[in-house]
Amino acid sequence: MQANIFFEARDIVGESIIWSADEQALYWVDIGGKRIHRLEVETGRHDTWPTPDFPTSIAMRKNGGFILGLAREVCFWQPDETFRVFAIPEPDRPENRLNEGRVAVDGSFWVSTMQNNLHADGTPKEMTADTGAIYRIDPSGEINRMTPNEYGITNTMAWTRDHRFLFADTLANEIYSFAYDPETKAISNRCTIVGGFERGLPDGSCLDSDDHLWNCRVVGGAAVARFSADGILKDLVELPVSWPTSCTFGGTDLSTLYVTSARFTMTDEHLGAHPLEGSLLAIKTEFRGVEEPKFGY
């Protein structure tokens, strides 16, 4: 499998990419650039919208529009309209911010938090504690904390068909599997399925139709690793960017893997020598993805 530059986005931190089958378009966020992207893959039409705070995740709603994680708030949003606050997962933890966010198989929106690593101008801020947790937000607006506040940089959310929830802590360089109860919505019995993998650190992921996890290896990993749900490495795709961040399957048959990337913390010298950092990549695969659930019932 070969990765090609699909769009030179020049994202500071491209993240949370999703495929809209209805529009045949990709949506993703640039956290540091405070913007939302939309790209039609056939026509190449590209639109962006500014956000009032750092956007951390985006997902589709069943009734149209999007649910979006900002630094502190979860909002509803329509292109060219205002952001409407829907939920605030951690009103009592001002030192934290939201990070990963994804719609679960039951139509709820799950978001995770982390100690804020961004100054107001988007420059890096030192992290001193592991204070992140996972939250489930029901379409009614009810918020439930799913884990203790014990994670560093929270990334990756995926639900397998055999009721496992996959999650990662970038700083720990670990990917976890939890038992997921579709009746109670609870997760339990955490175990590490990937630990100490030597290519970078785990960032965002997506599942294919075989319940294999495609995991972006950030912080110099320059690759996407395909793991079984038990953590066995099956494939490793080399990339022409060093900080891949998030991925999704798209295209008419869901066989193209699209990958966002970042240029966060990189020096001017590095970017001068590697100007394609922060680009969107496309990888033609022999695999098929699964359609993203939409928020709501």
Active site residues: 203
CB within 8 Å of 74: residues ≥ 6 apart = 67, 68, 85, 86, 87, 88, 89, 98, 101, 109, 111, 137
| Neighbouring C-beta atoms of residue 218, cutoff 10 Å | 26
C-beta pairs of 225-230 under 8 Å, 24+ apart in sequence: 225/197, 225/199, 227/175, 227/193, 227/194, 229/160, 229/162, 229/164, 229/166, 229/177, 229/193, 230/177, 230/193
Phi, psi at 50, each rounded to 5°: -75, 155
Q: Containing H/E element for 25?
A: strand 25-30
Distances in Å between the alpha carbon of 259 and those of 4, 204, 240?
10, 9, 11
The DSSP bridge pattern shows strands 154-159 and 143-145 to be unpaired
CA 206 to chain centroid, in Å, comes to: 8
Q: Is 101 exposed, middle or buried (0-12, 13-18, 19+ CB in 10 A)?
A: buried
Q: d(Cα 294, Cα 126) in Å, to the nearest integer?
A: 35
